[in-house]
Amino acid sequence: MPLPAAPYDVAVIGAGINGAGIARDAALSGLRVIVLEQNDLCSGTSAVSSRLIHGGLRYLEFGELPLVFESLRERITLRRIAAHLIKPIRICIPIYESAKRGPLLIRLGMMIYDLLSAGKTVPGHEMLGRDEMIASEPGLATQGLRGAARYFDAQVTFAERLVLENLLAARAAGADIRTYSAVTRINVERGAVRSLEYVDTVTEQQHEVAASVIVNAAGPWVDEVLSIAPGASPRLIGGTKGSHIIVGSFEGAPSDAYYVEAAADGRPFFIIPWNHLFLIGTTDIRYDGNLSEIRASREEIDYLLAETNRVFPAAGLEFGDIHYSYAGVRPLPRRDRGPESSITRRHIIKKNRGIARGLITIIGGKLTTYRNLAEQTVKRVGKMLGRKLPKCRTEDTLLPGAYRLDEAREALIALECLSGHGVERLMGIYGGRAIGLVELAKSEPSLLETIDTRKSVLAAEVVFAIREEMARTLSDIVHRRLMVGLSADQGRGLYTTLATIAANEFAWSDERRASEMDSLIAYSDSFT
């Protein structure tokens, strides 16, 4: 494929939350943008977090007040521009006699947290005594309980949809989004980046595109990306592995999220009501293994089960109670010494001058602060291009699904085939974009029906994912568009029906349909 007559201003490698945010900001700034992702969007670290939009309360311990302030400000912004995806969640910190962090320290942290989040749209913290806490949460372990703190943060149930909507916004502003496009080479000419070579891993076709600036936002893979450029680069990433387990409701299960100090090592972990299930995690272990084969170890799983059972004694959770687990690597800056928890969570925007002019690498970053990271990155891109860019618009511009929410709800209710649960499910996935989904369903009678017993999944969603949301495989549809792959059974009872609808839309052969089913089952099994 010949190079285009005019090069892209910026090529973004990676379609996780950082790459998607950078693409949106750059496209809204009038830059010509291409995004290249080796798999599907949000198929790496962004999908394996604790799914919180939070201020980083723990970062106060390490004196990272600027990061906490940034996070809290961004939490306010994201709740405004993505109101359909991000909801407030109350979090409780129980305080026990054996804990390293006592009531005075916790109270001080809460006061600082509230102070740094001035202008917040959620209530401030409250401190509870022992008796109040027991009355409020009867399933909580009472031995040694001194009291508790409660405060509000926010939750993004489906981080995959947050990434998708940033990419949809980027595409609407002119960006070229190419998933399943693995970059194989960065070409440099006269000390400056010239082009990227990549292969479409679905069609196996090879391509080359010219770009004036390249942003390496590949998360844990940034060192691998730098290795395909001329010259040598020191290792930048020293990732740590974080694992989570997903369980159903249990005896004494809490109504709030819990942020608890583990007895085994003193590290805080979460027990979070999520997607009608409970999300428990995370661990924090240095990781140098294969990035394509990251699994929660039995040791990590046993640790999370034991700590949860300690805090909620009636739970009695065992290995067989786990629906699935997931693990990922945080792309943190390399540091060989010191505890994992003390490695900074601040992002770093690094110019790779030793390799080529026009090459930038993103180290670190969080779901909460992705928008601000993107704004800072695009400002640097503008300077590298010698362009005066317009004022950043991402802080005030709603994401696509945040518009027309009331109208969308009315349209879904009017379909009559959906249950109340189904309406809420679709609103939490599509927001105002559900209006387009309804229009599609009405236009093709075969799509205007639900395919699950709860009357919550529309047949039209599959076609909508393909036509409007860049889905290319059955796994994309199940796990990163319809989100049924994150239900208790991972949506397995719907796989055959979903595959039939997708095969009709894609015009897959019987062999391709069978291959897609095999790949989907293997992918789902990798989480169990």
pLDDT in tens, 415-436: 999 999 999 999 999 999 999 9
d(CA 71, CA 114): 12
What pLDDT score does 6 carry?
61
Domain assignment of residue 246, given as a range: 240-330
Percent residues over pLDDT 70 in the chain: 97
Q: What is the CATH number of the domain that holds 467?
A: 1.10.8.870
Quick one: average pLDDT of 351-361?
Answer: 92
Under a CB-based contact definition with an 8 Å cutoff, are residues 283 and 242 in contact?
yes
What pLDDT score does 335 carry?
66
Are 408 and 503 in the same domain?
yes
Q: How far from 181 is each of 46, 48, 203, 205, 209, CA to CA, in Å?
A: 18, 21, 10, 9, 12
Quick one: average pLDDT of 285-296?
Answer: 86
Are 249 and 226 in the same domain?
no
Are 353 and 231 in the same domain?
yes
Q: Look-up: residue for tokens 């910190």?
A: 93
What pLDDT score does 338 carry?
55
Are 215 and 326 in the same domain?
no
Are 231 and 267 in the same domain?
no
- Residue 458 phi, psi dihedral angles, 5° rounding: -85, 140
Q: Is the pLDDT of residue 279 over 50?
A: yes
d(CA 452, CA 520): 18
d(CA 148, CA 130): 7
Q: What is the CATH number of the domain that holds 291?
A: 3.30.9.10
Are 451 and 316 in the same domain?
no
Is 60 within a domain? no
Is 167 within a domain? yes
Q: Is the pLDDT of residue 343 over 90?
A: no
Closest residue by Cα to residue 268 from 486, 488, 45, 62: 62
Which residue, of 319, 353, 385, is where some domain finishes? Answer: 385
Q: What is the CATH number of the domain that holds 173?
A: 3.50.50.60
Are 232 and 262 in the same domain?
no
pLDDT in tens, 122-140: 888 999 999 999 999 999 9
Is 140 within a domain? no
Is 112 within a domain? no
d(CA 491, CA 210): 41
Q: Which of 152-161, 237-246, 319-328, 453-462 has the lowest mean pLDDT?
A: 237-246
Are 317 and 267 in the same domain?
yes
Q: Provide DSSP, 282-314.
A: ---EE--S-TTS----HHHHHHHHHHHHHHSTT
Is 93 within a domain? no
What is the b/e burial string over 452-473, where b = at least 16 CB atoms within 10 angstroms of the residue's CB?
Answer: beebbbbbbbbbbbbeebbbbb
Are 364 and 512 in the same domain?
no
pLDDT in tens, 57-101: 888 888 889 999 999 999 999 999 999 999 999 999 999 998 888
Quick one: average pLDDT of 441-468?
Answer: 97
Mean pLDDT of all residues in the chain?
94
Q: Is the pLDDT of residue 120 over 80?
A: no
Q: Look-up: residue for tokens 């999908």?
A: 47
Q: Provide DSSP, 187-256.
A: EEETTEEEEEEEEETTT--EEEEEEEEEEE--GGGHHHHHTTSSS-----B--EEEEEEEE---TT--SS
Number of structural domains in the chain: 3
Are 323 and 434 in the same domain?
no
What pLDDT score does 166 carry?
98
Which residue, of 330, 353, 368, is where some domain finishes? Answer: 330
Q: Is the pLDDT of residue 342 over 60?
A: no
Q: Look-up: residue for tokens 């391709």?
A: 512
Is 50 within a domain? no
Neighbours of 406 (CB within 10 A): 8
Q: Is the pLDDT of residue 40 over 60?
A: yes
Is 101 within a domain? no
* Residue 1's pLDDT band (cuts 50, 70, 90): very low
Q: Is the pLDDT of residue 470 over 90?
A: yes
Are 458 and 516 in the same domain?
yes
What pLDDT score does 496 carry?
98
pLDDT in tens, 158-217: 999 999 999 999 999 999 999 999 999 999 999 999 999 999 999 999 999 999 999 999
Q: How far from 116 is each of 65, 86, 130, 439, CA to CA, in Å?
A: 8, 20, 27, 44
Is 194 within a domain? yes
Are 175 and 270 in the same domain?
no
